Chains A and B, each alone.
Chain A
Amino acid sequence: MVLYIPTDSLLHRLHPSTKIVGLVMLLILTVAFQSPWYQLIILSGVLLLARSAGAFRNLRRILPLMITVLVFSVLSWSLFKRVGEPFWSFGLLTLSTESIRFGFAMGFRLEAMLVSGMIFVSCTKVEEFAYGLRAIGLPFAVSFALSLAFRLVPLFFTRIGTVVQAQQARGLDLKSGNVLQRARKYVPLLVPIFVYAIRDTDLLSMALESKGFGMQGKRTEFLSFPFVWRDYAILGFLLVLNLAGWLMPVP
């Protein structure tokens, strides 16, 4: 993935399947708790993980998004959620201790999810992702298609850039005109982009077929990741946390 950070950390060394299952378990864990304090603990935990995986570089890139998400969820849930006894109200807006607690819980939860996802993409290569999916049991074609999509998106954007420049050079001005006029201006962009996409896909399929893609029967893997004690330990730990989180009486 584009955000992959090539360093060597404990998280990087995990088995790809552990990374995928671990991410899913982390996400489930954030949903288990309603209390802002527990959410804060989880958030601090994933931030520590992010730190250890060297993912802060990527977090900095999405910092504006993270701040927006936090402020927006705290404000909107606090003001619009109707729980408990409001101690302040103005029209539709109300504030209560419970709604404020809820707002913070939601804010921290979303942040924890964002950070978890970011850690995952920071320490997983596309091929590892595909390998991990296969190891869990997904068919090769599906995991390959998924990983290929990640690979092709940036390439596709470069192609779009070229087409946009080619048409701008011929005087296409996308900024002026009303909505309808502007929509019509996209035709000169869309046609070459589609032609491009079809042609590229065709060539790529031929290249894949020529290398034995689609062959029946067993396939071997160039990469190999041993599943070792640290994978058991991490997954076991997350499982225990989840069990505790979901079975514990709601505080």
Chain B
Amino acid sequence: MNQPILTLNDLAFTYRDAGKPALDQITYSHRRGEFTVIVGETGAGKSTLCRCLNGLIPSFIKGRLDGDFQVAGSRQSGHPHVYELARVIGLVFQDFEAQLFSTNVELETAFALENFAVDRDEMRTRVEQALNRVGLAGFEQRDPSSLSGGEKQRLAIASVLAGRPALVVMDEPTTDLDPVGKRDIFKLAQVLRNEIEGIILVEHETEHILSADRILLMHEGRIIGEGPPGEMLSDPLRIERHGVRPLQTTVLLSELGLETDALTIREAASRVRSAGWRVKASAQANLNGDRKPESGGSLVQIEDLVFQYGDAQPAVDGVSLDIKAGEFVALVGQNGCGKTTLAKHLNGLHLPTEGEVRVLGKSTADWTLPELGRRVGYVFQNPDHQIFANTVQEEVAFGARNYGLPEETVREKVGAALAVTGLAGRELADPFNLTRGERQQLAVASVLATDPEILVLDEPTTGLDYHGQVAILNLIRRLNESGRTVVMITHSMWVVAEYADRCVIMSGGHVVRDGDVRSCFSDPKLLESLYLEAPEAVRLGYEFGLVVRSVKEIVDSLEHPDG
């Protein structure tokens, strides 16, 4: 009989000092070999559940835990220690920087085994196997800090696998990864599901979770839906309501009024065609003609820029770019390809080792850092790198005050910045009580208060659920439409397709492609060779012989003979 490996029975947890339970009435049973994915909006209790499973709750994170759970047949009652559960259930965290601590790959992998008092010869075998499994054989002596993001996350997985847990739980392991890194992790999960007794994964990218056996939808601490992907993902509105970007195939089908249970691109396209929909004769020409009017004069000129940290390989190597007023530029490429280094030249945080960067007609070497910072607003990846004030208002006023603007002007600008970012009315709130999405908006607001002509944003959507992402992206779009030039670093290709005008692709410190977004997506082979992937909606468009940027464009390009 296929006995469940994990059974949760009416599990509930309330954090100490919290009024509301973070988990409530969780009943779940995990069969051997099953691959389960948990989805849900920020604050739904996904991470809390993961931490319950391996015992961090309640032995490390305090609070009140009720209900019981059985792991591999043995009932866990009372307060099992993390290290007892850790042998059975391994946990991989989202932040791959903070979970690695050794000086080389093999010691990192061996750490858990040392604690479990595994014999030395056995340990060597297991370390070797675990590293082989995740594709890191040959990296044994490397310093983890020298690995790419994807490699670091795979190392974290190896260090858990080496302990041979029955079940591996991964809490948003791909959030901070580039498209290749993401793909590698999902491929790995595919292989692992057959080798260990089960995988539980928290993940937002619906397209990647189609191969799961079961999807759990969480909301306010409860599991409110459970079933195979075909059932759980086929209602785009329901999924979107819960903070998850719906499958674009289902969005298309629902827009056309068809049954939405064809989830893959191929199935969805054939359903659309067999329902009689045809591509309009002039569709692609119409799409190509749908371009933003020519932008204004040149704002930023980058000429033969080379930048080197110490004696290392140049991080940016011979880049020339010209950015015009009013443009919305997306800067994409693998982790470590030089995007952030390039972006930091725009506001003078880096000065060129060779070549020149001119902003508003003046070389960045001739600007003072504060003056340039006022004209080029830079929003760092993590809002928590900069938030320090007691109130939202103070936080936003910080920049404007630094530039010595009169208090009246400061107040006016702060008001305007809060209004445009949707934070009006929250002036006196403590920034640390805001949600991650609101903190990201606050970071944008605090840059806007100095009225910059150019906005540079480093991965503004990381760590946000779909609602949060759409909110910040629409904000950025509004700012761009009101005349600000936007340069945005991102890993999300759908964001590039739907929001940017121009796409600059970097690889190894060079710009390898620079052009109109649609033209960048017209060449899937090139994207593939750069380890990038066209987003789902774009690939869905390919099925109709179109180069589109969104599902809406597909809908606009189709016609039905019956009208």
Listed in ascending order, the chain A residues whose CB lies under 8 Å from chain B are 125-127, 148, 151-152, 155, 162-163, 165-173, 187-192, 195-196, 199-200, 203-215, 217-224
Contact = CB atoms under 8 A, between A and B. Distances in A.
Contact of A166 (B119, B120, B380, B389): B380
Given A206-B56, A220-B120, A223-B107, A170 B398 contact: yes
Interface residues of B, number: 66
Contacts of B95: 203
Interface in B105-124: 106-107, 110-120, 123-124
Contact of B101 (A167, A188, A199, A208): A208
B4 to A, nearest CB: 22
Nearest to A126: B103
B110 A222 contact: yes
B56 A210 contact: yes
Nearest to A200: B98
B120 A222 contact: yes
A205 B386 CA distance: 24
Contacts of B104: 127
Nearest to A172: B402
B344 interface: yes
Given A203-B93, A210-B91, A215-B115, A169 B349 contact: yes
24 contacts: A127-B102, A127-B104, A167-B386, A168-B369, A169-B373, A169-B378, A169-B380, A170-B446, A191-B387, A195-B432, A196-B385, A204-B98, A209-B86, A211-B86, A212-B86, A212-B87, A212-B163, A215-B81, A220-B114, A222-B106, A222-B110, A222-B123, A222-B127, A223-B107
A191 B385 CA distance: 9
A215 B116 contact: yes
A209 B60 contact: yes
Interface in B99-158: 99-104, 106-107, 110-120, 123-124, 127, 145
Nearest to A151: B101
Interface string B334-371: 00000000001001010000000000000000000110
Contact of A207 (B93, B119, B347): B93
A217 B113 CA distance: 13
Nearest to A185: B402
Contacts of B385: 162-163, 166, 192, 196
Contacts of B373: 168-171
Nearest to B111: A211
A244 B98 CA distance: 50
Contacts of B91: 210
Given A166-B385, A209-B60, A171 B402 contact: yes
Nearest to A159: B385
A171 B386 contact: no
B374 interface: yes
B163 A211 contact: yes
B523 interface: no
B374 A171 contact: yes
A208 B51 CA distance: 13
Contacts of A214: 81-83
B507 interface: no
Contacts of B123: 220, 222
A127 B384 contact: no
Interface of B: 51, 54, 56, 59-60, 81-83, 86-87, 90-91, 93, 95, 97-104, 106-107, 110-120, 123-124, 127, 145, 159-160, 163, 344, 347, 349, 369-370, 373-374, 377-378, 380, 384-389, 398-399, 402-403, 432, 446-447, 450
Given A127-B102, A163-B386, A204-B101, A210 B380 contact: no
A221 B100 CA distance: 18
Nearest to B97: A155
A192 to B, nearest CB: 6
A215 B380 CA distance: 39
B393 to A, nearest CB: 15
Given A170-B386, A212-B163, A222 B114 contact: yes
A207 B98 contact: yes
Nearest to B118: A220
Given A148-B101, A196-B384, A196-B385, A173 B370 contact: yes
Contacts of B99: 203-204, 207
A224 B447 CA distance: 54
Select the residue from A199, A200, A203, A210 with max chain B CB neighbours within 10 A: A210
Contact of B403 (A169, A171, A205): A171
Given A163-B386, A192-B384, A203-B95, A213 B115 contact: yes
B402 A173 contact: yes
Contacts of B118: 220
Contacts of A208: 101
Contacts of B116: 212, 215
Select the residue from A152, A191, A209 with max chain B CB neighbours within 10 A: A209
A204 to B, nearest CB: 6
A170 B91 CA distance: 38
B115 A212 contact: yes
